[in-house]
Amino acid sequence: MARDGAAIRDITVVVDGGGERRAAQVAAELARVTGAHLTGLALAVDPLVPVYTVAAPIPTDFIVAAHEQGVADAKAALDAFDRIGQAAGVPSEGRVVESISGDFSGLVRNALLTDLAVIGQNDPNREEPLRDALIEALLFQCGLPTLLVPYSGAREFHPDRAVIAWNGSPQAARAVRAAMPLLARAKSVLVAIVDEGAPPAGIEQGADIGAYLARHDLDVTIRTIANAHEGAGQAVLSLAADEAASWVVMGAYGHSRIRQFLLGGVTRHVLASATIPVLMAH
């Protein structure tokens, strides 16, 4: 029997070093309902010590001990991940990925061939190392659709009520296409278009995305909303809260690159402020 090539068959999650590990739990539940294989990546981070702050060379023993501790912490996180996978009854495997001086080449190699990445939002009360840079690496270096799981608010992912932030961009279109296997499980889909000025003459806002989703037999509503004082990102999050939405789909935007990709203001605001899962793609 032919299989659906657009289905989610492989999910990769970045496993938190501690805490509730909500991202791993959400990823395991997603793997269960979609019949996907689940891979957990635990990051072993070597300490970053700027050379200009050190008067003498760093002792080799310190470097070795820090490295060994990072690997041990990552393996402990994978033990917790294994228990989460077993409880969900999904096929899973865990891998330790080492990062030295903020290098994510190992993460990229391990995440390239997957359908969906899952990662937890940065928790200011319990920060994971290099979390913002990791999210950027998944979106931009791996080119992966990435599901952000909030550290507070929603504890689970249910696709019932989806909000799509639509602006007609290639990034938003890629996010919608990546989300289709999950949107197919939604009971309702609200397309939010932030009013940022008059559209081009003769173009009905949302007609294209509405027709596309309707052809996939989705129950779609199109709504234009005012741009919030805090910006388009907050406008979408406020609408999602008012509508008791389960999750948000949106494009991720990067404006420039110096050492890392610098996310646009809308993307960065949503990453920091979301209290429901957000699926992004670049």
CATH number of the domain encompassing residue 46 = 3.40.50.620
Assigned domain for 156 exists: no
Q: Is 107 helix (H, G, I), strand (E, B) or coil?
A: helix
Do residues 77 and 23 lie in contact, with contact meaning Cβ atoms separated by under 8 Å?
Answer: no
Same domain, 27 and 126: yes
Kindly compute the dihedral angle of the four CA atoms of residues 137, 139, 141, 142, in this order, to the nearest 10 degrees: 110
Do residues 243 and 235 lie in contact, with contact meaning Cβ atoms separated by under 8 Å?
Answer: no
Same domain, 63 and 183: no
Q: Which amino acid is at 3?
A: R
Assigned domain for 220 exists: yes
Task: Name every residue whose Cβ is closer than 8 Å to that of residue 246 and which is 6 or more positions away in sequence.
Answer: 154, 157, 158, 159, 160, 161, 162, 186, 276, 277
Same domain, 142 and 23: yes
Number of domains in the chain: 2
**Of 149, 182, 203, which residue constitutes the final position of a domain?**
149
Assigned domain for 1 exists: no
* Domain ranges, residue 271: 161-281
Q: How far apart are CA 64 and CA 68, in angstroms?
A: 6
Assigned domain for 154 exists: no
Q: pLDDT digit of tens for each residue in the chain (282 aa)? A: 345 557 999 999 999 999 999 999 999 999 999 999 999 999 998 765 554 455 556 677 867 787 888 899 999 999 999 999 999 999 999 999 998 877 899 999 999 999 999 999 999 999 998 898 899 999 999 999 999 999 987 778 999 999 999 999 999 999 999 999 999 999 999 999 998 765 655 456 789 999 999 999 999 999 999 987 778 999 999 999 999 999 999 999 865 444 344 556 888 899 999 999 999 999
pTM for the complete prediction?
A: 0.90
Same domain, 203 and 143: no
Same domain, 85 and 122: yes
Same domain, 109 and 211: no
Same domain, 131 and 185: no
**Of 98, 123, 149, which residue constitutes the final position of a domain?**
149
